């Protein structure tokens, strides 16, 4: 069961009649920017675009500009389908006359794609979880307070597990070709990153006279490594 939020300029409660036959929790608010500020939380937004396509498209853009984090489905009529394109930024469309099976399927699909997208933006290995979407990282559930470059260094190494990179390669990939600092910068950032990783510092391995790599452990091995460090 999903929490749905309907944005409609009409104030109607039966914008999508089939929803009344499904078990989802539905809230309805006016489709204007002023009401979005205190909009209730939801899993999916359904925007009523049946009668005013211009205003609906404008509201779609406002939602995208404010960092929409949930799927957006447009409710349209047959005639409105021709006006919808990628510029709207919607995840799907549904006809206002659609039956309950179709409506439920579209809700499941947009939620499934959202979950897949979130999973794709996460890197998880050796007890470390890196979330590229939110630029955050955790080690065994503990949030890491990383600088931008520390995060980028950890992310880059974790994206290429077990592969050894020279300091020059890391400078090029993480700092960019236009960076004029020396390779000592890499060593400093690795040292700081290891300190913040704590018991899991060994995941950033050193290959003598070559460079650094991200070591991959399974969960049990990762726990044993942490216990060894603590002892």
Residues in CB range of 117: below 8 A, 6 or more apart = none
Half-sphere exposure of 34 (CA within 13 A, CB side): 2
All domains of the chain in start order, with CATH: 3-121 (3.40.50.2300), 126-229 (1.10.10.10)
Plot region of 89 (φ>0 → left; ψ -120 to 50 → alpha; else → beta): left
- Per the prediction, the chain carries an average pLDDT of 86
Nearest CA to 59 among 118, 134, 6, 128?
Answer: 6
What secondary structure, in 3-state letters, does 169-209 show?
A: HHHHHHHCCCCCCCCHHHHHHHHHHHHHHHHHHHHEEEECC
Residue-wise pLDDT tens digits, 2-27: 899 999 987 777 899 999 999 899 99
Residue-wise pLDDT tens digits, 152-161: 999 999 999 9
Strand partners, 124: 129
Residue-wise pLDDT tens digits, 116-136: 766 566 788 888 999 887 888
């Amino acid at each position: 069961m999903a929490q749905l939020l309907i944005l409609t300029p009409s104030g109607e409660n039966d914008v999508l009649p089939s929803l009344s036959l499904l078990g989802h929790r539905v809230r309805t608010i006016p489709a204007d920017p002023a009401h979005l500020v205190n909009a209730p939380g939801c899993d999916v937004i359904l925007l009523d675009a049946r009668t005013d396509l211009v205003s609906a498209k404008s509201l779609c853009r406002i939602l995208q500009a404010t960092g929409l984090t949930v799927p957006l489905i447009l409710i349209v009529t047959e005639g409105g389908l021709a006006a919808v394109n990628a510029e709207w930024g919607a995840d799907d469309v549904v006809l206002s006359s659609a039956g309950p099976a179709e409506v439920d399927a579209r809700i499941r699909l947009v939620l499934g794609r959202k979950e897949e997208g979130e999973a794709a933006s996460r890197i998880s290995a050796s007890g470390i979880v890196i979330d590229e979407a939110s630029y955050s990282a955790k080690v065994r559930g503990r949030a890491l307070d990383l600088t931008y470059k520390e995060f980028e260094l950890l992310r880059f190494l974790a994206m290429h597990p077990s592969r050894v990179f020279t300091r020059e390669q890391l400078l090029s990939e993480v700092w960019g070709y236009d960076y004029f600092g020396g390779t000592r910068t890499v060593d400093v950032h690795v040292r700081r990153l290891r300190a913040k990783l704590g018991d899991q510092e060994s995941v950033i391995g050193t290959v003598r006279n070559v460079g650094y790599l991200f070591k991959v452990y399974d969960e049990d091995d990762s726990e044993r490594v942490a216990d060894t460090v603590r002892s």
